[in-house]
C-alpha cells in the first residue's frame, strides 16, 4: 500500500457568496481569527504527514502563492524590531523548498475538473483532496484520521457527516452497506439527491483519499449536477472495482463557504484561544 504523500487543494473558485470582499482577494484568504482559511487546510495536511501540496488555482489567486512564500522584508523587519512572536507566526506558514506546487484551472468546470488538472503532478500515487471551505476543529486532524483508516482498509475514503434529510440536496450522499465503529462500507454515492431520493443522510464533506485510477474517469469529462464535472460521479464509477469507505470523523465541521458558517468558525476558533476566550465570551454576552 502506497503512502499518501500528496494533497490537492482546489482553490480556483470565485467566492461569489462573499462579494464584494472577494472581488480582489481570494475567498481562501479570508481570515478565521488571524489565519486565512487556506492555512488551516494546509496545516491539517501537514499534521497528517502530507509532503507535497498541489494548489489548483485560477485568475486572481496569486495572494495564495504569496502567503506561502518566504517574505524577506517582513521577516527582517520583525527580527530587527524584536517581534519574535510574530516572526514565528510568519515562519510557521512557510513550507520547505519544493513542498508547494501550483497549476491553473483555466475554466471553472467543477471540482472533478479541478482535480483532473493536477493529474500529471500526482502520477500513479494515491492522494488526498482537501476543500478549504470545510474547516474541521478536531484534536486529531480530519485527514490524519482518514489516513489512519486508509492504512487499515485501503481503497478510496471520504469524510462523512450525518446531515438533516432536508439538506441532502447540497451534498454527495453515500449508500451504506455496513458500519464498523466510525467506518462505513459504502456501495454507491450520488451527487446532491433530493431528500425523498437520498439513499441515506450520510453526506460527504470536503475531504477525500482517492486512488490514481480516478483520473481515467475524470478524463471522460462527464457533465453532472449543476452542469459541472463532478468528482462524485467519477468516484461512483471507480468504486465498482475498488474498496470504498466513509469515515464518520471526530470533530466539528464549519462550512465556511457561506457567511453564517464563516462567522460561526470565527467565534468557535476564538473561543478555543486562551488569549481571546474571555473577550469573545464577553462580546457574546453583550449581544
The pLDDT of residue 96 is above 80:
no
CB 167 within 8 A of CB 91: no
The domain spans of the chain are 6-286
Residues paired with residue 56 on neighbouring β-strands, in sequence order = 10, 103
Q: Is 47 strand, coil or helix?
A: helix
pLDDT of the residue at 164: 93
At 10, the pLDDT band (50, 70, 90 cuts) reads very high
Q: Give me 98's grid cell.
A: 519544493
The pLDDT of residue 2 is above 90:
no
Per-residue pLDDT tens over the stretch 127-179:
999 999 999 999 999 999 999 999 999 999 999 999 999 999 888 899 999 98
Per-residue pLDDT tens over the stretch 23-73:
888 999 999 999 999 999 999 999 999 999 999 998 878 888 888 887 778
State the DSSP code for 96: P
CATH class of the domain comprising 6-286:
alpha beta
Amino acid at each position: 500500500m502506497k503512502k499518501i504523500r500528496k494533497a490537492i487543494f482546489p482553490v480556483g473558485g470565485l467566492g461569489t457568496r462573499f462579494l464584494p470582499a472577494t472581488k480582489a482577494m481570494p475567498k481562501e484568504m479570508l481570515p478565521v481569527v488571524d489565519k486565512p482559511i487556506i492555512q488551516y487546510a494546509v496545516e491539517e495536511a501537514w499534521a497528517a504527514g502530507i509532503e507535497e501540496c498541489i494548489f489548483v488555482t485560477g485568475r486572481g489567486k496569486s495572494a495564495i502563492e504569496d502567503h506561502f512564500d518566504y517574505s524577506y522584508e517582513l521577516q527582517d523587519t520583525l527580527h530587527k524590531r524584536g517581534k519574535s512572536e510574530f516572526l514565528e507566526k510568519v515562519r510557521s506558514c512557510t513550507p520547505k523548498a519544493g513542498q508547494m506546487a501550483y497549476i491553473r484551472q483555466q475554466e471553472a468546470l467543477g471540482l472533478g475538473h479541478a482535480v483532473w488538472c493536477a493529474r500529471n503532478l500526482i502520477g500513479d500515487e494515491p492522494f488526498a483532496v482537501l476543500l478549504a471551505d470545510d474547516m474541521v476543529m478536531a484534536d486529531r486532524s480530519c485527514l490524519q484520521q482518514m489516513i489512519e483508516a486508509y492504512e487499515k482498509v485501503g481503497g478510496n475514503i471520504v469524510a462523512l457527516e450525518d446531515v438533516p434529510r432536508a439538506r441532502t440536496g447540497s451534498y454527495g450522499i453515500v449508500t451504506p452497506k455496513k458500519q464498523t465503529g466510525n467506518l462505513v462500507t459504502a456501495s454507491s454515492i450520488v451527487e446532491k439527491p433530493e431528500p425523498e431520493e437520498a439513499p441515506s443522510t450520510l453526506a460527504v464533506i470536503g475531504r477525500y483519499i482517492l486512488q490514481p485510477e480516478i483520473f481515467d474517469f475524470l478524463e471522460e469529462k462527464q457533465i453532472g449536477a449543476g452542469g459541472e464535472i463532478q468528482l462524485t460521479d467519477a468516484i461512483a464509477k471507480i468504486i465498482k472495482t475498488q474498496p470504498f469507505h466513509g469515515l464518520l470523523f471526530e470533530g466539528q465541521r464549519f462550512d465556511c463557504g457561506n457567511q453564517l458558517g464563516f462567522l460561526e468558525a470565527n467565534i468557535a476558533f476564538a473561543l478555543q484561544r486562551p488569549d481571546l476566550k474571555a473577550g469573545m465570551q464577553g462580546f457574546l454576552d453583550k449581544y
